[in-house]
């Protein structure tokens, strides 16, 4: 999204906010830190013409999740959301500082906390199956690298198999990874949720690919297998399915990036290693 103008006076008045200071810009929104009427700091996320999209259901997921590991959502309206300010650091910062496995352990704690107790009602959330449409609709360019072609074919059939045999389906954060978790006084909290219904083990799939800035380590089969062991045991999900979901999500991200017609992609080495770990893991 473009435009560094301040939030409108109408919006600030609507949420009773003052002292807006620019925080970040994303593809669909501008973010500011603001001060609430009670004097506490918060984050105001204001969406552009594309609207909130899947983040609307993300705010619903966070608002209904156990509060000790979810950012508080103070208020929303169709074009904006007011969210708890999370001081930090993020788990991405922790991993980038060389503490990847401690970050993985904290990420597991947040995932477990978000899913403690009974699952949320599923009505109204989009389905994980729909999110994978881009992978199934993807066209490979004539000059697509043969290794990429083979890996994407494998990942596609793996995704098809997983989606048609989902277990323990429930509302999920939908984009849980290191840089969507920041520290607050009460502990690490998730924010930036997408909100969808799918197999519980999918919640940890995307974090195998992240955080940004740790690419060499992320690709290491030793890390992939260590995460699979830690997270499957701690989150109570099947290790093989977790690895398969990680490969499927990696292929989906490649499909999104290709804008519909794939010829090459920098994540091929990671996809190949995720597939190989999934194919060779002892059940
Ligand atoms: N509640 C919050 N407290 C502190 N920092 C936040 C908060 N919400 C967002 N941020 C920071 O603002 C930036 C943008 O965050 P956000 O998660 O909204 O978008 P993104 O991850 O950059 O993009 P996308 O929406 O495409 O995932 C990030 O650096 C994030 O750490
Ligand atoms: Mg984010």
Domains of the chain (ranges plus CATH)? 9-84 (3.30.200.20), 91-280 (3.90.1200.10)
Q: Is the CB of 59 under 6 A from ligand 1?
A: no
pLDDT of res. 118? 86
For the Cβ of 26 lying below 6 angstroms from any atom of ligand 1, the answer is yes
Is the pTM higher than 0.75? The answer reads yes
Query: Which of 57, 84, 89 shows the shortest CA–CA distance to 70?
Result: 84
Residue having the nearest C-alpha atom to atom 4 of ligand 1: 86
For ligand 1, whether the C-beta of 63 sits within 6 Å is: no
The pLDDT value recorded for residue 4 is 61
By alpha-carbon position, which residue is closest to atom 29 of ligand 1? 24
Mean pLDDT of all residues in the chain?
A: 96
Nearby residues for ligand 2 (ion, Cβ within 5 Å): 180, 192
Ligand nearest to the CA of 191: 1
CA 246 to chain centre: 12
Note the pLDDT of residue 1.
52
Q: Which residues contact 4 (CB under 8 A, 6 or more apart)?
A: 22, 25, 30
Task: Detail the DSSP E strand segments found in the chain.
Answer: 17-25, 29-36, 41-47, 73-77, 80-84, 139-140, 169-172, 181-184, 187-190, 196-199, 261-262
Among residues 59, 58, 1, the alpha carbon closest in space to that of 29 is found at 1
53 has pLDDT over 80:
yes
pLDDT digits (tens, 9 = 90+) for 148-192: 999 999 999 999 999 999 999 999 999 999 999 999 999 999 999
From 191, 210, 211, mutation site for ligand 1 pocket: most ligand atoms within 8 A of C-beta: 191
- Whether residue 3 is predicted with pLDDT greater than 60 in this model: the reply is no
Q: What is the sign, positive or negative, of the torsion defined by CA atoms of 128, 131, 135, 136?
A: positive
Q: Is the pLDDT of residue 114 over 80?
A: yes
């Amino acid at each position: 999204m473009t435009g560094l103008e301040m939030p409108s006076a109408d919006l600030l008045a609507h949420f009773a906010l003052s002292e807006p200071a620019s925080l970040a810009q994303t593809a669909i929104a501008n973010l500011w830190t603001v001060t609430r009427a009670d004097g506490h700091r918060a984050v105001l996320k204001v969406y552009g013409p594309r609207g909130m999209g899947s983040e609307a259901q993300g705010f619903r997921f966070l608002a209904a999740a156990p509060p000790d590991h979810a950012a508080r959502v103070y208020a929303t309206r169709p074009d904006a959301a007011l969210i708890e300010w999370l001081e930090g650091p993020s788990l991405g910062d922790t991993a980038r500082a060389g503490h990847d496995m401690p970050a993985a352990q904290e990420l597991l704690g947040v995932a477990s906390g978000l899913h403690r107790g009974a699952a949320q009602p599923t009505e109204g959330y989009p389905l994980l199956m729909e999110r994978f449409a881009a992978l199934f609709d993807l066209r490979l360019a004539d000059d697509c690298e043969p290794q990429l072609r083979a890996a994407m074919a494998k990942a596609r059939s793996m995704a098809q198999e997983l989606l048609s045999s989902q277990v323990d389906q429930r509302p999920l954060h939908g984009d849980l990874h290191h840089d969507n978790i920041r520290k607050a006084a009460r502990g690490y909290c998730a924010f930036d949720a997408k909100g969808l219904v799918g197999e519980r083990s999918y919640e940890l799939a995307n974090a195998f690919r992240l955080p940004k800035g740790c690419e060499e380590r992320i690709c290491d089969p030793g890390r992939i297998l260590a995460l699979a062991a830690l997270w499957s045991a701690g989150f109570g999900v099947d290790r093989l399915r977790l690895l398969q979901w990680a490969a499927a999500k990696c292929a989906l991200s490649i499909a999104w990036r290709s804008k519909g017609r794939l010829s090459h992609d920098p994540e091929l080495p990671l996809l190949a290693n995720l597939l190989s770990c999934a194919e060779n893991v002892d059940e």
